[in-house]
Structure formats: C-alpha cells, structure tokens
Structure 1
C-alpha cells in the first residue's frame, strides 16, 4: 500500500537491550533470544498491517541486522551512543531521502501481542494527523505518527506521552491493548501473554520453560 505509513522500529544492541527484563530469562543467551523474538513479532505484525507501506529496523546490532535483512526487512544503521531520538532522526532522514513524500512513524520494538488489524485501526484513527499511542501505564509512547510528509520530531524518554502531547500530537483514545502493551519487565510479559503472544515470543518462552523443567528434574 504505497500511501501508507513508513514505520521506524528502533532496537538497541542485544547486549544492552531490555535490561529490566533479564529476570525473565535464565541466561544472557536466553535473554537475547527473547528480545529478538519480541522484535520479530512486532515487525511481523507491522509488516502485515494494510496501513503500513514499509517497516525499517534501526539498529547497530550485527546479529539483528543480519536476521532482518535475511527476511527482507529494511535495516538502517543507527548512530551509536547518541540515544534513541538521535537514532530515529537519523533513520527518518534516510527514509526521507529515499521517499520524500512519505508519512513517517515510530513503532516501539517490544509489542509481542500486536495484531495487524489493531495497528491499522490506530493509523485510521490518526486521520493523517500527528498522533501518538500511550502505553498501558499512560506515560510512555508505543506509536508516534507524523502528519503527512512533515518531520517526525521524536521525543522518547521519560514521560514521552506528555512530551509528544505537548508537542502537538493527538493522543489516540481508542488504541487496542495489544498496541499499548510494551514489555519492559517480567510483569509486562505476563500481561502480553494474556492478550496473546506472537509465534516467535511464544516459541522462545516454551523453550525456556522446557529447559527449566529439565533443569529442575535433573
């Protein structure tokens, strides 16, 4: 769908990503697998949404870069050590050079229960205007949409929902729970599981559960 939104999905290097979620995995390798699964389910859902014209992952992690390129996902190298907003601004510039009139947006990478139709509903509710979806706590931002072909102007960080609201973005009032359920800590993962996890996250958690059961029976 050529007139849809082009979404940037930012991902930190696996060695530092989702540090507060480490308690959900027994090893560093298992944690990396879980983070990769979260991102994979998010990107898969976004690519399947009719209102999304394209998805570009923004990362400097070579493992993630290779994985997504192998699956035909566009990857943009971020700007290491300059923070999330700088990486997104860089990604937006790259997309703008390639697609001057594209409508841009940001989707957080940790939405493993996201459904394509529910992302479509949020994009439709935005009606082409600058808009954002707050997380389930009401303070963070899971989706930011620019207006038309205007600049993205990301304001992620502490209390980003307030920052984006004060910056002229309209809060999406009817956003589905799956779009609001980002996963930062193990308790968030339980909420996402109740909503219905994507296949990659579900598979990784099943594998970790089997490994844990084997470890306890040995």
Structure 2
C-alpha cells in the first residue's frame, strides 16, 4: 500500500468514526446537541432544530444543497446555529419585542448572539411540517427554565415565506399562555381558521429564570 492509499484509508476511517459517534450521541441524547442547554420548539420543528435533526449526523453531505437548500445555506453560513439549536434567545427585552427584533430579523431574534442565526431570516423554501386547523406546539425546555408565558403567532394568509422576510405585520396572534412551572416539555394547543398552504409559525417564549426571550420560526403547511 502506498502512502497516498494509507492517508486515504485513515481519512475515510476518521470520517466514518465521526459519523458513527455523532449518530450514537443523537440516539442516546435525542433532545441534546450542545453543552449549553436552553430550548426550542421541536414540533413543528424550528428552522435550526429541523436542520440539526435532519442533517446533524451528515452535515457535510453535498446532497443537502439539492435536497434541503435552505438548511444547506444555513449550515454554510454558521454551523453553530444548528449545533446550538437551543440558544436562540435575547436577554433584557423587557417585553418590548418589536423594538429589539426589527422586521426582517424575526427568525434570528434580531440578529442575536453576534449574528449566529442570521441565515434563519433568509426567505426560501424551508422544509415544512404538515398541520391541520387545530394542532399542538411542542416546546422542549432543556434547561427547565419555566415560562412566564408563551406567545404563538402564525403568518397571515397571502404572506409568502418563500420570497418575503418575516415582519411583525405579517403575523396574527393565535394564543398567549399562562405560566409554566419549570419542566422540560410544554404543549400549547392552537386553533386556526381559513389558512391554507405554507405559513410561518412564530413562537415567543419568555423564560422565567430571568428576562430571557426565545424567538422561534417554524415552517408549516396547512395543505
């Protein structure tokens, strides 16, 4: 075996080992992906959680560019947005969300965390979750922060998430919950009427442990 063949064999073995280790971790710790635990909407999956869920074990696969182009551009922009799928929050919003999160930046939480999540604001054909008029939003609070409240919005009929960045005027409020005691899994039932096709579900989670707010975009299809 020549030197080139030995190097290639080592490279392939390392790649396979990394993939196997990642897959094992995903199996053993299904809600985890980072050391710093916070949380996100897991159903309908937030944009970065969905990208991590689908591609975390295979994030270097060039097939993603054709099969899941919005995730591809997000992985290329900043892989840490997916590895840190549970860290899309801002501190100190004081409930004045429209002031701290400008139009066109809703999915990145106003370009929070140094711009780590900016690619999530990109309009395009994000993968969707099929929903009916009545469905349940599932939020995983990995760090058991609790919630002062959770607001769930949906984009209005006529808004096109494939071509338009999301703005506050594009949203209609579906529900505002009461408090959730610290736990790990919260369920928020929502009801809609007259919606069809692709929409963005927007969840604002006000954590209880401090003034920490999560801003989470999920893509849904009402059929």
TM superposition score normalised by structure 2: 0.24
Higher strand share: 2
Higher helix share: 1
In terms of Rg, which structure is larger? 2
